[in-house]
Amino acid sequence: MALLDGKVALVTGAAGSIGSETALALAEQGARVVLTDLRAPELEAVTDRLKGQGHVVACKAGDITVDDDIRSVVEFAVATFGGVDVLDNNAGATGFSSRDLDIPDMSVELWDQVQSINARGPMLFCKYAIPSMLARGGGSIVNISSGQSLSGDVSNFAYAAGKAALNALTRHLATAYSPRGIRVNAIAAGLIIQPGMEQRLPAHIQNIFLSHCLVPRLGTPRDIANMVVFLASDLSSYVTGQVLAVDGGFTAHLPSVADMRPIIDGMKGAPGKWT
């Protein structure tokens, strides 16, 4: 039997590379999946592709910043498949990096927009999905956060603040609802290679990230999707309230490791000498 047979999963941001891969991974494990995204044509294309592969899926477009849209997406999931067992809050405020550079130049409008996507939208999906989960005896909520919520950086102030709020929401929801059968966890994703990444992060920038990864590669959408499946399934039945880094070890070591590694490697050939 597949890990998620009989479960209904709702995936936000499902038209993107991580969201679509997650919807596929959940469906491969037997879940009936509702996909939602702001971009209706792309969402329908992903849904049609999954249907063509034999999966039981449906979609409803909606804007994560609009309360009525979120409520209607959850209502659609309940009407279509009978409820919600798994909520994957995958949608995030990507594409604002070129404007999210510093606080003195930050517009209130940009700040509010990013928080609305990264924190308010997931909160509202939880607000409307939790009653269905309780009625079905429990469930699993997986919030897609970011490594930028765990440490400081020189840009992406609004993005990091929104994801940090999502981490706090994760822990509070887990504390309140795990005794009632709803586990809540977050994934702090590292750099995930997606289509078009070269335009935003050229190779020499990607190599900076790669030099700090303990696993010698950058992440893929399937890396995140696999962790969502694990957290959605009973394999993780004793895991809740956690912010789990899926980043190839990027945040697991001291900041000096990438620069110190060749020096230490040189010392191994000449013990006691700093080279």
Which tokens belong to 52? 């063509």
Q: Which of 120-145 are b and which e, b meaning 16 or more Cβ less than 10 Å from the residue's Cβ?
A: bbbebbbebbbebbeebeebbbbbbb
The angle formed by the CA atoms of residues 170, 144 and 161, to the nearest 5 degrees, is 70
CA 196 to chain centre: 18
Contact 226, 188 (CB under 8 A): no
128, 159, 177, 238: which is the annotated catalytic residue?
Answer: 159
Is 238 known to be catalytic? no
Report d(CA 138, CA 80) in Å as an integer. Answer: 19
Radius of gyration from C-alpha coordinates of the chain: 20
**Which residues are tagged catalytic?**
159
